[in-house]
Amino acid sequence: MELSTQSQETQQVLNGFFQGTGNNDTEAIAVFLAEDINFYIAESPYMPWTGKKNGKQQVITALQQLIAAHHTKEDDFEMDHIFIDGTEAAVFGKAGRTVKATGKKFKEPFVMRFTVKDRLITKLLMLEDSHQIEKAFIK
Q: Chunk the chain into consecutive blocks of 10 residues (it has 139) and report each block's average pLDDT, rounded to whole numbers.
A: 86 97 95 98 93 97 96 92 97 96 96 97 95 91
Instruction: List, for residues 81-119, the tens digit of each pLDDT value.
Output: 999 999 999 999 999 999 999 999 999 999 999 999 999
What fold, for 5-134?
Nuclear Transport Factor 2; Chain: A, (3.10.450)
Considering just the CA atoms, what is the radius of gyration of the chain in Å? 15
- Of the candidates 97, 103, 114, 91, the one whose C-alpha atom is nearest the C-alpha of residue 138 is 103
State how beta strands 33-41 and 120-128 pair: parallel
* pLDDT of the residue at 29: 97
* Sign, CA torsion 45/47/51/53: positive
Write down the pTM of the prediction: 0.93
Can you give the residue ranges of every domain in the chain? 5-134
